[in-house]
A = this chain, B = another copy of it.
């Protein structure tokens, strides 16, 4: 009964070290050195091998090493094999840091001050209090909830939207497609933390932008294909959007010479908002393995019919 890791090998070495300490009885292999394929019961992967149950005939669970499973081709995964996404404190902490930084950058006019610094101009701009800057988060899972709970402390009026609804203290929660327009109309800074599904692919497009207050800002921390990048450039050009902070693009890496790279109202980071931290990730996986043995539901196990 062994464990197979198939993702970034440098991180894999850290995982191997942690498994040796914390679960010394579990043989741990790093792809492509899988040892006895028939012995592998558990797989942690960014991308599973093609046709995983043929390669790994006794596979019992597939773990994603990321917060989402959209990068998995689930069509090749038999329905009886649980698929578990990564929910661990390191991912949550990183996302709260990144989005807080992005929101405060927009709120405190730091796009404008960066341009002024380039021009060596010392000119204070009017200050807008947090109470007049409305935050809207698309997606109310673990990440969206944690982000809203932190931003609320700054005094921003906070709202969130999700397909199925949620309840977060001090946050106006909107549920379902019918409420999306009302949510957008009150969001000065829109943050995307949705899962990528067929329903959310391309959601951040011209039509959605037109429903935001004029001059609104976008923080894109979902997945690249949520966003229509041409529509974003058009919305920035027309002034419908005032600025955008993107941690994900489509494709990744963003190609050289893409106009987003050099846009003065766009900040780009290379998909670093939140990264699985080996120490806490291994703890979460070992806890889930115990749950699986005991017949309990695993933390982060996805609903195959919803895709998240």
Chain A contacts to B: CB under 8 angstroms = 90, 93-94, 96-98, 100-101, 104-105, 107-110, 113-114, 116-117, 120, 122-125, 127, 129-130, 150, 153-155, 252-254, 256-258, 261-262, 267-272, 275, 277
Contact = CB atoms under 8 A, between A and B. Distances in A.
B116 A270 contact: yes
A107 B97 contact: yes
Contacts of A252: 122
13 contacts: A97-B107, A100-B100, A101-B104, A101-B105, A101-B110, A104-B104, A110-B269, A113-B269, A117-B261, A117-B268, A122-B252, A122-B253, A122-B270
B154 A96 contact: yes
Nearest to A267: B117
A135 to B, nearest CB: 13
Contact of A122 (B117, B122, B254): B254
Nearest to A273: B108
Contacts of A108: 97-98, 101, 272
A277 B127 contact: yes
A124 B271 contact: yes
